[in-house]
Amino acid sequence: LQKTLIFLHVTTCVVVGKTLMILFPNAMKRYILKQGEKSRMNENPKFSYENWGPTFFSFEYLLFVLKVKWKRLEDEAYKGRPAPNTPVVTFNGEVRHLFDFMQDNRPLILNFGSCT
């Protein structure tokens, strides 16, 4: 049911966005550029609107957004429910899953950190 609702929402947004791009190209260009400012995409001199702007609301855009949103459904954790078996990357660059590190009845401790 959640995937269906996400599909309907994303598809509606893409259809409306594509329609607005056709009817009001200059207004949509300003809107998309404003979104690029929020994500700081505009700060990269190698990116111009002509490179990435027209990809908004395309069929490939629809598929990408659906893939990301559906994947997030699998990775959500809820209180009182089992933890998701999320993919993780080892220091060697190997992709494993969280449950691969569990041993017998021992608790699994996750330690997150950041070095800059």
Q: For position 90, what pLDDT does the model report?
A: 82
- For the entire predicted model, the pTM comes to 0.57
- Kindly report, residue by residue over 2-35, the tens digit of the pLDDT: 889 989 999 999 999 999 999 999 998 888 888 8
Beta-ladder partners of 88: 96
Tokens of residue 51, six digits = 């490179």
Amino acid identity of residue 30, one-letter, is: R
Please enumerate in sequence order all residues whose Cβ is within 8 A of that of 95, keeping only pairs 6 or more positions apart, or say none.
Answer: 87, 88, 89
Please enumerate in sequence order all residues whose Cβ is within 8 A of that of 50, keeping only pairs 6 or more positions apart, or say none.
Answer: none
C-alpha distances out from residue 108 to 101, 104, 111, Å:
7, 10, 10
* Arithmetic mean of pLDDT, 50-74: 84
Amino acid identity of residue 88, one-letter, is: V
How confident is the prediction for the chain on average, in pLDDT? 84
